[in-house]
Amino acid sequence: MVKELEKLREDEIDVVMKAPIYVAILIAGADGEIDKHERREAVDIANNRQSRSREQLSEYYKEINFHSEFERIIDELPSGVDERTTAIIRELRKLNFILKKVDRSWAIKLHGSLKDLSKKIAEASGGLMSYLTVSYEEAKLMELKMLKNPSTF
């Protein structure tokens, strides 16, 4: 277990561990259905996080089985984009309360990592010919405004 999460309840740990998956699904599915290409891109980007994440977050990302959890959570979420987006935002907002309970430095790094993940997925979802293109729907969500910056806690 990630030592920064040891003081949290099981349900709180679950929210924190699913946060990158929720972010990936939120952005990949912002403009409609999440196709195979977007699924693959989101999983590849998240897997890169595991090897490239900041030292304090490397253990965290290594504990996330991104591929299987990504597919499982997509299946559990509503299929309609508006309903799915609402459900994900509701889950991500829980982080605003949970991250107040963990080491502030770690929380700040996680917040920054989630925002960076969001940006990379938004840029990648445009496909090869429109790489680095972000749709209007993705741009609205990409900043993860539902998350408060832990540096303000």
Query: For residues 60 and 116, is the Cβ–Cβ distance under 8 A?
Result: no
DSSP string over 75-137: HHS-SSHHHHHHHHHHHHHTHHHHGGGS-HHHHHHHHHHHHHHHHHHHHHTT-STTTT---HH
Residue 144: pLDDT over 90: yes
pLDDT digits 0-9 by tens, 93-135? 999 999 999 999 999 999 999 999 898 888 876 544 445 567 7
Three-state SS for 146? coil
pLDDT digits 0-9 by tens, 49-62? 666 665 678 889 88
| 27-99-152 Cα angle (round to 5) | 90
pLDDT digits 0-9 by tens, 73-100? 999 999 899 999 999 999 999 999 999 9
